[in-house]
Every structure is written in C-alpha cells, then in structure tokens.
Amino acid sequence: MAAGTVRGGVPGARLAVYKVCWDNECHGADILAAFDDAIADGVDVISFSIGGKLPAPYFEDATAVGSFHAMRRGVLTSAAAGNFALYGGRVCNVAPWMLSVAASSTDRRLVDRIVLGNGKTITFMGGGGTGRAVIQGEDPSLTTPGNGAGPLQAGAAGAVIGTYEPDIAFSMPLPALTVTQDPFAKILDYVNRTRNPVGTIYSSETNFDAGAPIVASFSSPGPNIITPAILKGSWPSG
C-alpha cells in the first residue's frame, strides 16, 4: 500500500536519537541537554520535530537557544514549524538560524470506502473488514483515539473515527476509517435510526495525487509573530 521509492537518504548515515519528552511534556532543560549531547557527538544535522502552539521570545525558547549553539558549531537544525493550525496555532520554531519545516502531503492518497447497510457508500481517506463497528464518540469507554485499543478490546470488527484533521492517518490494529465531520454525522444518523446497523469496510486503495505536495491542514501558518519580517514560504493548495 502506497508503495514507492525512498529518496534523499544517505546509506552510510549514522542516526543519533535523543529523548527529551515524557508524558507529552518537553522541558527546556531536557531540550538543551539534547542539543549539547548532539553537538558533542559530532552530528551534522539536527532534526527537531517538536513544537508548541505559539512561539516564544528567542531568549526564552530552549529550541532557539539550543539551535543557536548548534549553528555556531556548524550544525543545521531543521525544526517543525508547528502542528496546531486547527487549534489557533501559529508557526512556532521561527528563529532565523534554524530551518522551519511545514508538514505536507505525499503524492499518494489512501482512499477507503464504507458501505452502510442502507446501501449508502461513503468514500474518504483512512483502512478492510465487515461486522460490528464502534463509532468514535458514541461510547467513549470503548474508544481510544489514535490506537484503536478500545474498539479492539470491545470485540469490534472495525471502527469509524470522526476527525477535524482529514489528512492525519492512524495505525490501527483492526479495520478502521477516519472521516471528517459531515460523513461522520451521516454514519451516526444511520446508526441511530437503524435497529441493527451494519457496514462493510473495504480495503484501502492508493491513488496518485498530482497536486502534491500540499501543506497539511494542521501545519501552523504564519505570520512569524516574533519577527514578522521573516516570511514562511509554502506550496499553494491547488
């Protein structure tokens, strides 16, 4: 599925990985320690895929400080621009001495279909199987966003997950689909109006997307509110 050829990698490259976050919290002291360790280990590039909702002043931002020390030693820091666009976020890693990278799509789009018992077909991105499905949000005790553990433990044959982020995929241990709010409402309406609702989830298909790359919906946009003169470039959405 979504087969392709990896390009741009260096076969002889050595990867050095440093942990800076625990329980979804990333403290400045740990971030700075990781930068120091990476520099001392002699890395050539630092990839920093951590970002908040809003940027902080450079001298109060551990990422900006750490990447500045890296820059002075000839090490480039490539940092996530931020992934909170749908929650009011703005591009966060904005220091001029680091490379801010937005999230974008690939040229392969995964398309799935679910056929409800009333014959209605809903097509969207998202997972093959038939049987009982757990509807995300209908019974919170049986659902666990992102990993499918709840539906699996409940004995579900499949899961339908409603999301506001149509271009985020989840790795699930059972057939599952991610749908936006409009089709999710239609599925939920069918479930609520039917005595024995059923559905068939078909295997994913891979379609070529000629419009790629497109900036992801969740990628935090500009402007740079710390230094407005620094612009964030991006691809058009068409």
Determine if the pTM surpasses 0.85.
Answer: no
Residue 53 lies in a domain: yes
What is the C-alpha separation between 80 and 219, in angstroms, rounded? 9
Is pLDDT above 50 for 110? yes
Measured CA angle at 214 (ends 213, 217), to 5 deg = 145
* pLDDT tier, 154 (very low <50, low <70, confident <90, very high otherwise): confident
Domain total of the chain: 2
What is the C-alpha separation between 187 and 192, in angstroms, rounded? 9
**Cβ of 27: how many Cβ atoms within 10 Å?**
12
pLDDT tens for each residue of 48-105: 989 888 899 999 999 999 999 999 999 999 999 888 887 888 889 999 999 988 888 7
pLDDT value at residue 156: 75
43 lies in the same domain as 65: yes
Please name the amino acid found at residue 206. T
CATH of the domain at 44: 3.40.50
Please name the amino acid found at residue 10. V
* Residue pointed to by tokens 């271009």: 167
**Cβ of 84: how many Cβ atoms within 10 Å?**
18
Residue 2 lies in a domain: no
What is the C-alpha separation between 214 and 116, in angstroms, rounded? 31
What is the C-alpha separation between 189 and 192, in angstroms, rounded? 5
CATH of the domain at 174: 3.50.30.30
> Which of 56, 88, 103 corresponds to the end of one domain?
103
143 lies in the same domain as 162: yes
Question: What is the residue-averaged pLDDT of the chain?
Answer: 80
Q: Under a CB-based contact definition with an 8 Å cutoff, are residues 176 and 184 in contact?
A: no
50 lies in the same domain as 124: no
Residue 84 lies in a domain: yes
108-112, 143-147, 189-193, 207-211: which has the highest mean pLDDT? 189-193
87 lies in the same domain as 124: no
pLDDT value at residue 41: 96
Is pLDDT above 50 for 39? yes
Residue 46 lies in a domain: yes
pLDDT value at residue 52: 85
Is pLDDT above 80 for 196? yes
> Which residue range is the domain that position 94 belongs to?
21-103
Residue 187 lies in a domain: yes
Is pLDDT above 50 for 121? yes
* pLDDT tier, 2 (very low <50, low <70, confident <90, very high otherwise): low
